[in-house]
């Protein structure tokens, strides 16, 4: 199913429908927007017909200088069977040639009071958000000290219970069990909860609880950028776990690398506190303070001093 249709942008931006009402269910497949200035001049060889076409003062003032036949031909070529919409900005008068051509091809012609550049920017941002690549992962997403922490691990390892403890400690739940992720820009991953399970946590033995009802609106948020992945795994006595934190592990989600920390789980470990400290330490590292490196450097200095004394 198409993620966005022409009727969605009509509702979102309160656009006036001038003509071509039959086409308001056309799919919008790209966030790119075209201002067909060169097409107004008659060059249609590379006309991006699948984009929304934006006509501002520049395009329409040039169009008015054309003779009658050219005006008719240009508007007929502008209206194709895949063009999702033609939008006239600044509440400018819509040429009758455009109305006639749009009615024939069922291309919606819309009008906005906004300036062309401002409207183009808003529309692009809206479409990029709606048309961004998406995926879903099994895990829990929590906002811990402003860091979007995605908690992963096998079923039953304690992800939801840890999230509940974090919420009790003042942090905010974004999603439990299923995290919908959309990729914005080059390396920005935004996580949110499916509408059906928004604000809900499933705790074995208790069942489903509504975090917002229990802890208030400050305990939840609708979406958050994912910057840290914490993978919970049952303690394996034969596995060597990182004790210094010098090596930074990465995990790929939708071709975007995210820092990953593996935390072993066993009775007596307070996972909520560990995740809180991991989030704070991650923030410190981004600010240029790396405790593991500082310790290693001090250790190297002590060893060097010891070697000099021996000499």
Q: Does the annotation place 72 within a ligand binding site?
A: no
Cα distances from 96 to residues 14, 86, 91, 227, in angstroms, run 22, 14, 15, 52
143 in a domain, yes or no?
A: yes
Could you tell me the two tokens for 200? 């809900």
E-only strand ranges, 36-105 = 52-55, 86-88
State the CB neighbour count (10 A cutoff) for residue 15. Answer: 23
Segment 9-37 shows an average pLDDT of 94
Catalytic status, residue 159 = yes
Domain enclosing residue 181, as ranges: 134-295
Residue 264 has φ and ψ, to the nearest 5°, of: -75, 140
E-only strand ranges, 206-306 = 207-210, 223-225, 228-234, 249-253, 256-265
Q: Does the annotation place 120 within a ligand binding site?
A: no
Number of H helices, E strands in the chain: 10, 17
Q: Does the annotation place 160 within a ligand binding site?
A: yes
Question: What pLDDT does residue 305 have?
Answer: 73
Q: Does the annotation place 34 within a ligand binding site?
A: no
Q: Which helix (H) or strand (E) holds 238?
A: none
Query: Which one from 8, 12, 72, 177 is the annotated catalytic residue?
Result: 177
Query: Which one from 138, 169, 225, 250 is the annotated catalytic residue?
Result: 138
Same domain, residue pair 106 and 164: no
Question: What pLDDT does residue 310 have?
Answer: 60
Question: What pLDDT does residue 111 have?
Answer: 96
Same domain, residue pair 88 and 157: no
Report the number of distinct structural domains present in the chain.
2
User: Any idea what DSSP says for residue 132?
Assistant: S
Same domain, residue pair 108 and 145: no
Q: For residue 222, give the nearest of 182, 165, 186 by alpha carbon.
A: 182
Q: Is residue 1's pLDDT more than 70?
A: no
d(CA 64, CA 61): 5
d(CA 175, CA 142): 7
pTM to 2 decimal places = 0.73
Q: Does the annotation place 273 within a ligand binding site?
A: no
pLDDT tens by residue, 48-102: 999 999 999 999 999 999 999 999 999 999 999 999 999 999 999 999 999 999 9
Same domain, residue pair 127 and 139: no
Helix (H, G, I), strand (E, B) or coil at 217: helix
Same domain, residue pair 66 and 29: yes
Contact 156, 141 (CB under 8 A): no
165 in a domain, yes or no?
A: yes
Could you tell me the two tokens for 149? 């922490």
Catalytic status, residue 243 = yes
Cβ neighbours of residue 103 closer than 8 Å, sequence gap 6 or more:
19, 20
Residue 155 burial (C-beta neighbours within 10 Å; 0-12, 13-18, 19+): exposed
311 in a domain, yes or no?
A: no
Cα distances from 193 to residues 180, 181, 227, 258, in angstroms, run 6, 9, 17, 19
Q: Is residue 24's pLDDT more than 60?
A: yes
pLDDT tens by residue, 176-235: 999 999 998 778 999 999 999 999 999 988 899 999 999 999 999 999 999 999 999 988
Same domain, residue pair 123 and 75: yes
308 in a domain, yes or no?
A: no
- Among 81, 96, 131, where does a domain finish? 131
310 in a domain, yes or no?
A: no
Query: Which one from 239, 243, 266, 308 is the annotated catalytic residue?
Result: 243
- Cα angle 166, 171, 176 (rounded to 5 degrees) comes to 65
CATH number at residue 243: 3.40.50.300
309 in a domain, yes or no?
A: no
Same domain, residue pair 147 and 217: yes
Same domain, residue pair 126 and 186: no
d(CA 56, CA 85): 14
CATH number at residue 126: 3.40.1390.20
pLDDT tens by residue, 230-286: 999 988 888 777 666 667 789 999 989 999 999 888 887 899 999 999 999 888 888
Q: Which helix (H) or strand (E) holds 42?
A: none
Catalytic status, residue 57 = no
Query: Which one from 159, 171, 172, 199 is the annotated catalytic residue?
Result: 159
- Among 77, 108, 131, where does a domain finish? 131
Q: Does the annotation place 22 within a ligand binding site?
A: no
Q: Does the annotation place 128 within a ligand binding site?
A: no
Cα distances from 304 to residues 1, 51, 179, 308, in angstroms, run 66, 65, 49, 6
Q: Does the annotation place 192 within a ligand binding site?
A: no
Question: What pLDDT does residue 2 have?
Answer: 66
303 in a domain, yes or no?
A: no
Cβ neighbours of residue 32 closer than 8 Å, sequence gap 6 or more:
48, 51, 124
Q: Does the annotation place 220 within a ligand binding site?
A: no
Helix 96-105 × helix 68-78 angle, to 10°: 40
Contact 56, 37 (CB under 8 A): no
Helix (H, G, I), strand (E, B) or coil at 226: coil
């Amino acid at each position: 199913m198409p993620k966005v249709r022409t009727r969605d942008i009509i509702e979102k931006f309160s656009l006036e429908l001038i003509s071509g009402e039959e086409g308001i269910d056309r799919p919008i497949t790209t966030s790119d927007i075209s201002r067909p200035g060169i097409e107004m001049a008659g060059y249609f060889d590379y006309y991006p017909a699948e984009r929304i076409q934006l006509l501002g003062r520049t395009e329409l003032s040039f169009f008015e200088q054309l003779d009658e036949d050219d005006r008719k031909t240009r508007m007929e070529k502008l209206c194709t069977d895949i063009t999702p919409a033609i939008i006239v900005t600044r509440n400018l008068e819509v040429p009758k040639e455009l109305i006639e051509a749009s009615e024939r091809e069922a291309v919606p012609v819309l009008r906005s009071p906004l300036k062309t550049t401002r409207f183009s920017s808003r529309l692009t941002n809206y479409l990029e958000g709606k048309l961004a690549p998406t995926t879903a992962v099994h895990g829990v997403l929590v906002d811990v000290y402003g860091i979007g922490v995605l908690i992963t691990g096998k079923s039953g390892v304690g992800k939801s219970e840890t999230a509940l403890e974090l919420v009790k400690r003042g942090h905010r739940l974004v999603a439990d069990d299923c995290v919908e992720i959309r990729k914005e820009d080059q390396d920005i991953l935004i996580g949110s909860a499916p509408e059906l399970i928004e604000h809900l946590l499933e705790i074995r033995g208790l069942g489903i609880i509504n975090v917002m009802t229990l802890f208030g609106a400050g305990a939840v948020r609708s979406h958050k950028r994912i910057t840290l992945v914490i993978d919970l795994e049952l303690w394996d006595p034969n596995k060597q776990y990182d004790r210094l934190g010098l090596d930074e592990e990465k995990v790929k989600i939708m071709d975007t690398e995210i820092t990953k920390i593996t935390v072993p789980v066993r009775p007596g470990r307070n996972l909520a506190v560990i995740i809180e400290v991991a989030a704070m330490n991650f923030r410190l590292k981004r600010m240029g303070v790396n405790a593991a490196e500082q310790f290693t450097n001090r250790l190297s200095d002590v060893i060097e001093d010891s070697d000099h004394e021996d000499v």
